[in-house]
Amino acid sequence: MKPPFDDHVSTFPAVQERPATPSAPRRMTLNMGPQHPSTHGVLRIVIELEGETIVRAEPDIGFLHTGIEKQCEAINWQQVVTLTDRVDYLANLSNNLVYALTVEKLLQLEIPPAAQWMRVMMAELSRLNSHLVWLGTHALDIGAMSMFFYCFREREDVLRLFEMFSGQRMMTSYIRIGGLALEPPRGWQNAVGKFIGGFPSKVDEYEELLDSNPIWKARTQGVGFISLEDMLDLGVTGPMIRAAGLPLDIRKTEPYSSYDKFDFKVATRTENDVYARYRVRLDEMRQSARIITQALEGMPNGPWQADAPHVVLPDREKMKTQMEALIYHFKIVTEGFRVPAGEVYQAIESPRGEIAYYIVSNGTARPYRVHMRTPSFGNLQALPALLEGTLIADSIASLGSMDFVLGDTDR
Amino acid sequence: MNHPAIVETISALGETTLIADPARIADLCRYLKDSEKFVRLGSVTAVDWYPAEPRFAVVYHLHSIERNQRLRVKCRLSGTDPEIDSVTGVWRSANWYEREVFDMFGIGFRNHPNLIRILMPLDWEGYPLRKDYPTHGYKYSYSGESTVTDR
């Protein structure tokens, strides 16, 4: 029978039943980054979700690639130091140090003890700098906002010290081939002593602030597990692997720059979660403070640059009064110095893990090849193993706990 | 260390280098990991010795935690159609490092699960870390066409 309506009204039967829900939950692909604030740089992660569970996570890197390794081949040996600052901008002194150590190994240069101790002190200060930035931003990601202000307050003190030593807050280029860039400034003992004297109590303060926060504990404990075998297989180093109970620390296993003369412990934990990584970094800050105090108290006297006039720029006064010094100055500045042909792989412990430079020289004044084995690149490769199978809500806590720097990853 | 793939052992500046036969690199790496306890692969990289032949050297840096020792394994590859077996089956960490070498030097890795560019854009032409690739890249002329200079 024709319904009592006009002809233009559709007569198709209307849906009378609720559509059946698909039995399997729908998969959703979520693009995170490269502008996501919690990725600490320009990292893009393509996440595939099933409900709230991550089934696949694919990191996409390279947005910050600046061709530093290629640049190194076009400039003189001593000019590369400024580029190494820009690789890992939170641990620039570690990068200066590993580059200087590698080239010095090729040159077979002996570094005076005062310079070695000063290098250790600067490297540890930069570890404090890096861990403070990590702690502040990681707590901010998880929602503990006030931590950020406290950590950056102390970080500012570290940066002021860097400025006092080198004239620069971040891109210090303070550690050079053959020693240090500048003579330590007058009154540096007081400045460092004042900072480091009050620092351990600040770490206690952070610990109390976070550990008495049940939200912090709930969001970090038992989150972000990755097995030790996976970490070794995927090339993870640094606090991540130490939080899984393996005391892998190059400062202890292959001491460089007289680290063997300092008394410190390798911080480890066994829980292997975000909380353990936080505790490892806190302990490392305490140990770094110990090392800096020892360096301050036992700083040897003597020159802060190696006795190698063909490599190290002469003293300004000598350059103006002595013919020999003027010639060396002119030669180093215009042509640079030659490094004997050979290849060296030197690894050190940066705040993020193993940073190593593989440098090949063909006997000229420019590096033939500089390969930077950066810890963030190695660690980031474990991101899928860390995230897959976990909840999306935990992903920020997990990936924040890796503490990567994208400049370090992409170079 | 005794394996048929090892061609030469060099000690210099306190570091040990094994020169290996590129055709059996995966086999050698499996032996070094399982029998010689080099559980960690530090990095994989390459050096371009253009215009010499064999042009490329693929360099592996291994680390044994148990023996507290580092080892360098080097394979020399020809400049025409350079290709070598992937070691991702031995250490999973080789994945990104080999992709980087492919991206920067154009060296192919057989049996690699996902051999695409990693740092450069996917549609990039050329391999930046090759010695015949210019440091100061492309110069654009105002008439519209781009010309490669300094190559």
Residue B100 in any domain: the answer is yes
Helix A145-166, helix A188-211: angle, nearest 10: 170
> Is B129 inside a domain boundary?
no
Structure letter (DSSP) for residue A305: B
Residue A400 inside a domain? The answer is yes
What is the number of domains present in chain B? 1
Q: What is the rounded CA–CA span in Å between residue A181 and residue A173?
A: 7
CB spacing of B129 vs A69 below 8 angstroms: yes
Buried b (16+ CB within 10 A) or exposed e, A228-258: eeebbbbbbbbbbbbbbebebbbbeebebbb
| Residue linked to tokens 């190696």 | A306
In a domain, A84, yes or no: yes
B139 in a structural domain: no
Is residue A243 in some structural domain?
Answer: yes
The CATH number that applies at residue B70 is: 3.30.460.80
Residue A292's nearest CA partner among A96, A93, A113, A126 is: A126
Using an 8 Å CB-CB cutoff, list chain A residues near B93.
233-235, 378, 381
Q: Is B92–A343 a contact, with Cβ atoms under 8 angstroms apart?
A: no
| Structural domain total, chain A | 1
CA distance B88 to B97: 10
Give one DSSP letter per residue of B82-129, joined into a string.
Answer: -EEE--TTT-TTHHHHHHHHHHHH--EEET-TT---SSS-TT--S-TT
Q: What is the pLDDT of residue B150?
A: 38
Calpha distance A388→A394 (Å, rounded):
11
Q: Please, are residues A76 and A365 in contact by the beta-carbon 8 Å criterion?
A: yes
CA distance B58 to A369: 13
| Chain A residues within 8 A of B119 when measuring between CB atoms | 61-62, 65, 410-411
Residue A227 in domain: yes
Identify the domain containing residue A146 by its residue range: 58-410
Short-list A283, A139, A284, A142, CA closest to A209: A139
Mutation site for A-interface testing, chosen from B66, B93, B99, B101 by largest number of A Cβ within 10 Å = B93
Q: Do A373 and B39 touch (CB under 8 A)?
A: no
Cross-chain CB nearest to B118 (options A61, A344, A378): A61
Mean pLDDT along residues B132-146:
63
* pTM of structure: 0.88
Give the DSSP H/E element, type plus range, for residue A322: none
Most A CBs within 10 Å, among B119, B131, B132, to test the A interface: B119
Rounded to a whole number, what is the distance in Å from the CA of B20 to chain A's nearest CA?
17
The CATH code of the domain that includes A389 is: 1.10.645.10
Q: Are A95 and A130 in contact (CB under 8 A)?
A: no
Closest CA in chain A for residue B49: A368
pLDDT tens digit sequence for B71-110: 999 999 988 889 999 999 899 999 999 999 999 999 999 9
Q: Which backbone phi and psi does B83 adopt, to 5 degrees?
A: -150, 145
Chain B residues within 8 A of A73 when measuring between CB atoms = 135
- With CB atoms and an 8 Å threshold, state whether A410 touches B93: no
Nearest-10 crossing angle of helices A113-142, A392-400:
170
Interface contact B120-A73, CB threshold 8 A: no
Task: Mutation target for B interface from A98, A360, A369, A409: give the one with most B CBs within 10 A.
Answer: A369
Based on C-alpha coordinates, what's the Rg of chain A? 26
Cβ contact (<8 Å) for B43 and A347? Answer: no
- Residue B107's pLDDT is 92
Asked whether the beta carbons of residue A235 and residue B42 sit closer than 8 angstroms, the reply is yes
The continuous run of DSSP H or E covering B59 comes out as strand B56-64
Cβ neighbourhood burial of A37 (10 Å; 0-12, 13-18, 19+): exposed
B89: in domain:
yes
* B142 domain residue, yes or no: no
Q: Which is nearest to B19 in space by CA: B5, B32, B30?
A: B5
Question: Over 60: is that where the pLDDT of B140 sits?
Answer: no
pLDDT at B151: 34
Q: Which residues pair with B20 in a beta bridge?
A: B6, B75
Min distance A235 CA to chain B CA atoms (Å): 5
Could you tell me if residue B146 is inside a domain?
no
Q: Select from B41, B43, B48 the residue whose CB has the most chain A CBs within 10 Å, as the one to mutate to test that interface.
A: B43
Residues of chain A positioned with their CB less than 8 A from the CB of B59: 358, 371
pLDDT tens per residue across all 411 residues of chain A:
555 555 555 556 677 777 676 666 678 888 887 876 666 778 888 888 888 888 888 888 888 888 899 888 888 898 999 999 888 888 889 999 999 999 999 998 889 999 999 999 999 999 999 999 999 998 888 888 888 899 999 999 999 999 999 888 888 889 999 888 888 888 888 999 999 998 999 999 999 988 888 888 888 888 888 888 888 899 899 899 999 888 889 998 889 888 988 999 998 988 888 999 999 999 999 999 999 999 988 888 888 888 888 888 888 888 889 899 899 899 888 888 889 999 999 999 999 999 999 999 988 888 999 999 999 998 999 999 988 888 888 888 888 888 888 888 888
Residue A386 lies in a domain: yes
> Cis omega (within 30 of 0) on the bond before B51?
yes
Q: Which residues contact A402 (CB under 8 A, 6 or more apart)?
A: A240, A379, A380, A382, A383, A386
Find the domain containing B94 and state its range. 6-121
Interface of B with A (CB under 8 A): 12-15, 17, 39-43, 45, 47-48, 59, 61, 65, 68, 70, 72, 91-93, 95-96, 104, 117-121, 128-129, 133, 135
Minimum CA–CA partner of B42 in chain A: A235
